């Protein structure tokens, strides 16, 4: 799995999820239920991950959508 985006913006998480779903790219959102622990302050960022095989396509999709500035550095494992 590769991390695409890390953000506190739940609207952005939803938008990226919709883009990935539309392109049939399976993804996983981690830490979205951490608000129970943190007290709903939105301090802990949510992380969006995709499978290694979908990483390049997902990054291109987000770049094409004008969200390149939100992408985490690609570790290129």
pTM: predicted TM-score of the whole model, two decimal places: 0.85
pLDDT reported for residue 27? 98
| Domains along the chain with CATH numbers | 2-70 (3.30.70.790)
The DSSP code sequence of 5-70 is EEES-HHHHHHHHHHHHHTT--EEEESTTTHHHHTS---SPEEEEE-GGGHHHHHHHHHHTT-GGG
Contact 45, 31 (CB under 8 A): yes
Rg of the chain over Cα atoms, rounded to whole angstroms, equals: 12
pLDDT reported for residue 51? 97
Instruction: Report the DSSP pairing between strands 27-30 and 2-7.
Output: unpaired
Query: What would the pLDDT profile of 15-59 be if each residue is shown by its tens digit?
Result: 999 999 999 999 999 987 765 565 556 678 899 999 999 999 999
């Amino acid at each position: 799995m590769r991390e695409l985006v890390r953000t506190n913006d739940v609207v952005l998480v939803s938008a990226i999820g919709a883009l990935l779903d539309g392109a049939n790219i399976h993804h996983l959102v981690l830490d979205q239920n951490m608000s129970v622990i943190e007290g709903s302050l939105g301090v802990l960022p949510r992380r969006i991950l995709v499978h290694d095989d979908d990483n390049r396509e997902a990054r291109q999709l987000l770049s094409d959508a004008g969200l390149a500035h939100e992408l985490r550095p690609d570790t290129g494992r």
